[in-house]
Amino acid sequence: MELGPVDRITADALGEPGMRTFYLQARAGDELVTVVVEKEQVVLLSQSVLELLAEVPLETAPLDETELALEEPVDPLFHAGRLSIGYDPDDDRFLLEVTEVEPDDEDEEDAGDEGSGLVDDDPLALALEGEPETIRLWASREQMLALSRHGAEVAQRGRPTCRFCGNPIDPEGHVCPATNGHRAARA
């Protein structure tokens, strides 16, 4: 799916800390596209944007970050497996490719012989069946900087991390593997 230049792009989460679902959402004209992402993907995307912006010899103006909440309906197309980012200096735009998570071989085996509704002798249908979906979009430096800042802030809203092991700490604490379980870390 090609979105082209987007009017808006954001990352946000819904739910309580520890039970949140993270989303990446983009709007291009009337088309609203939402995908489920992992918290770690949001953090890495935020860091990658900052690293790429540091290499661009142009000043990036701030963008109004007050309008970065998710738009309704939050109806994800798929769960993202891979995010790829790059910068095109000729067009002064970022390219973001979001590729659907590929099912494991085990998942395919679990599907059994129930079938997918495809006719076994249709080679095109069989070839397309296993292809993960990809969304390609272009965004300005300002949009990506706002996405980076907002995404990092959203990720930090979650549970605090243990200073010893880096794992999240639930409100009741957690048994820290770095202390061999001898000490429960508290939030």
Average pLDDT over residues 62-88: 89
Determine the pLDDT at residue 134. 96
Q: Which DSSP string do the residues of the chain spell out, in sequence order?
A: -EEEE-SEEEEEEESSTTS-EEEEEEEETTEEEEEEE-HHHHHHHHHHHHHHHHH--S------GGG-SPPSP---S-BEEEEEEEEETTTTEEEEEEEEPPPPHHHHHHTTTS--S--TT-HHHHHHHTPPPEEEEEE-HHHHHHHHHHHHHHHHTSPPBPTTT--B-BTTBEE-GGGTTSSEE--
* pLDDT tens digits, one per residue of 82-123: 999 999 999 999 999 999 998 764 444 444 444 444 445 555
* pLDDT tens digits, one per residue of 119-148: 455 555 555 567 889 999 999 999 999 999
- What percentage of residues in the chain have a pLDDT greater than 90? 55
Model's pTM, two decimal places? 0.75
Determine the pLDDT at residue 124. 53
**C-alpha 138, offset from chain centre:** 15
